[in-house]
Amino acid sequence: MGKSSQVENDLLQAIHETANDLYSAGFIDKKRMHKYEALCLEAVPSYDASQIRALRDRYKLSQSVFASLLNTSPSTVKKWEIGEKHPSGPSRKLLNILEHKGIEALIQ
């Protein structure tokens, strides 16, 4: 993590802690607290074809098993790996979890 990323992360954490304290003290409502929580979430990165293939290779998974793990079809994984399609939404989140927490996080 770069220096500016760490500063941004520290700032967002401080904002979240402050908002949580204000919520606990009754100064902000639940709806406002949810907005602060949403602002403090890290963005899920995009994955290109080579990153997806590298991730699948890291765990030595076939396209079919990889697809099953991500709750998608093998043809979708194939299209991701040739750059014809790109993962979005839940698939990007699952790829991010797989990348950072490992396969165990998805199969428990």
Per-residue pLDDT tens digits for 47-72: 999 999 999 999 999 999 999 999 99
- Asked if residue 91 belongs to a domain, the reply is yes
- Split at pLDDT 50, 70, 90, the class of 2 is low
Query: Residues 35, 56: one domain?
Result: no
Q: What CATH number is given to the structural domain containing 84?
A: 1.10.260.40
Please give the Cα distance from 8 to 4 (Å, whole number). Answer: 6
Evaluate whether residue 16 is within a structural domain.
Answer: yes
Domain that holds residue 20: 3-39
Give the pLDDT score at 38.
Answer: 79
| 20 has pLDDT over 60 | yes
Helix spans in the chain (H): 3-24, 30-39, 49-58, 63-69, 74-81, 89-101, 104-107
CA distance 12 to 64: 39
Domain count of the fold of the chain: 2
Looking at residue 8, what is its pLDDT? Answer: 73
What is the reported pLDDT for 83? 96
The model scores a pTM over 0.75: no
Contact between 42 and 100 under an 8 Å Cβ cutoff? The reply is no
